[in-house]
Structure 1
């Protein structure tokens, strides 16, 4: 997933002929890192050395380093210089954390369909990897819904349940995507719900999914999980009727 973290900056792996001086230096530094085989923790040449190597002004190099730092690829500290890092996923988390997008019916539909693709669509892989510990962990997490005190806590438990479910896949990339989407998923989970909804409906729906896993019933798992993910349509419809 490509996320442009700096307004106006080109993707880091692109430097067309008409690129700005800063974009060109960004691209050249990326090539330098790759060609020299630099790894996380290694130091880049000094600012003076980069200026000479790329025939660029000090301001151009400094701006290029600022962009690379914003992308989470370098860390620049006074008297230490620039070192290679890899905070790209953290930068993406920060971007989504400040996402104030309203949860419309279209947003709900798109996000839940994507979640269904990950969770329901991975049924074969989930059942192939499933062990008793996975079921025990899911029941333990779901039991926490009966002890919730507020909506934020309840939605977090709901999110933890689904993260633990897809963790069965043992796929770090999928988990990273899910975590990036966390803020919007939490808002969807809270849409139209109450504390009682979490303690009764959500809890029961989770238990039905766990029961299907325990019984190794693939069809029941798909049916119950898809129904659970799409349950929120009811709350959107109720809100629309109440406001009309």
Structure 2
């Protein structure tokens, strides 16, 4: 295979970082497309004037990010389709920042506004039925004789993921799934606060409102509903 035009001279950043940047930029610019085989280690080494170890390290990083996939005896290829690992560097960056909890809530609010808008556009009878079932399961967990905060959290998460699934957008599903993982501790605290404040009906109303705006295609109320939905979560992260 001929060496691709995206290979550029190393300079500025570390050798490994530059190799990662070159491959990434080639994908962004369309010089490498999903499913394309990238140049061999030897071609990369020769064209960039770098060592084999640096090339291997860069490929390992891109594989870990879900950008490349290695097929033994065939070569290394650009991944086809979305991989949730692609989100890790961005989300780790958010987690490690000061005041990350508030930033994550802000991120989730913005995402939820988009989810509800898109869900309205793509809502089908079957997906509406699944959302209503998820709402019923959440109600059942809250009405159980023995309060199980973890079970309520799981039902809450399942409800939100059903709404995300309505959008038919794998990228959104990946982002929301990962945000759910990294915010479990604070969301459990929020659920506990709802229970201690005897505000479970309010908790359910917030979820019913989300489902209602989708079902009734009430776009004008989306921002208001999302803002109210996260009031308790904001209180426990302050």
Report the TM range for the smaller structure's normalisation.
Answer: 0.5 to 0.7
Corresponding residue for 2:77? 84
Once the two structures are TM-superposed, the CA of residue 178 in structure 1 deviates from its matched residue by: 2.2
TM-score by structure 2 length? Answer: 0.64
- How far apart, CA to CA, are the structure 1 residues paired with 2:133 and 2:24? 46
Paired positions, count: 222
Gapped regions of structure 1 (runs ≥ 5): 1-11, 238-244
Q: Deviations over 1:95-154 (max 9, x none)?
A: 68989x69x9x5444333332323246655544444444432222012222147743332
Once the two structures are TM-superposed, the CA of residue 227 in structure 1 deviates from its matched residue by: 1.3
- How far apart, CA to CA, are the structure 1 residues paired with 2:123 and 2:10? 48
Q: Classify 1:181/1:15 alpha carbon distance in 2 versus 1 (closer, same or farther; 3 Å).
A: farther
Gapped regions of structure 2 (runs ≥ 5): 1-5
- How far apart, CA to CA, are the structure 1 residues paired with 2:90 and 2:185? 12
Q: Deviations over 1:218-243 (max 9, x none)?
A: 45555344312223345457xxxxxx
Asked whether 1:112 is paired with 2:110, we answer no
Corresponding residue for 2:177? 179
**Contact 1:92–1:180 at 8 Å: present in 2 too?**
no
Q: Classify 1:31/1:118 alpha carbon distance in 2 versus 1 (closer, same or farther; 3 Å).
A: closer
Q: Deviations over 1:181-240 (max 9, x none)?
A: 222343332124239839654334322433454444445555344312223345457xxx
- How far apart, CA to CA, are the structure 2 residues paired with 1:58 and 1:132? 55
Asked whether 1:57 is paired with 2:51, we answer yes
Once the two structures are TM-superposed, the CA of residue 84 in structure 1 deviates from its matched residue by: 1.0
**Contact 1:141–1:157 at 8 Å: present in 2 too?**
yes
Q: Deviations over 1:12-46 (max 9, x none)?
A: 99977323444444455567888875642x54454
Q: Classify 1:85/1:194 alpha carbon distance in 2 versus 1 (closer, same or farther; 3 Å).
A: same
Provide the aligned C-alpha RMSD in A: 4.4
- How far apart, CA to CA, are the structure 2 residues paired with 1:96 and 1:17? 24
Q: Classify 1:144/1:195 alpha carbon distance in 2 versus 1 (closer, same or farther; 3 Å).
A: farther
- How far apart, CA to CA, are the structure 1 residues paired with 2:106 and 2:209? 20
